[in-house]
Amino acid sequence: MVTHAAASDAAKFLVVPADENMPKGFDKAIKALDITVRGFRLSGTKRKRIIELDPVRT
């Protein structure tokens, strides 16, 4: 996640491993800060990795 100003109206995304659980209470903080969470997973081979982005978590 990258932002240049706390008051920015830019969309904010946090991309995390798809199979990881969020720490307790983390979802409330993310929601309060208006951050969208996306999961990702790696597939493919050692020579050619593919990044798969999951749908938005709600």
What does the alpha-carbon distance between residue 31 and residue 28 come to, in Å, rounded to a whole number?
Answer: 5
**pLDDT tens per residue across span 31-52:** 888 888 889 999 999 899 999 9
Q: What pLDDT was estimated at residue 2?
A: 57
Q: Which of 18, 49, 11 is closest to 33 using CA atoms? A: 11
Percent of the chain predicted with pLDDT > 90:
17
Q: Helix or strand or coil: residue 35?
A: strand
Q: What pLDDT does 48 receive? A: 93
Residue linked to tokens 């982005």: 53
- The token pair at 40 is 């990702």
pLDDT of 6 strictly over 80: no
- Give the per-residue pLDDT at 37: 87
pLDDT band at 13 (very low <50, low <70, confident <90, very high): confident
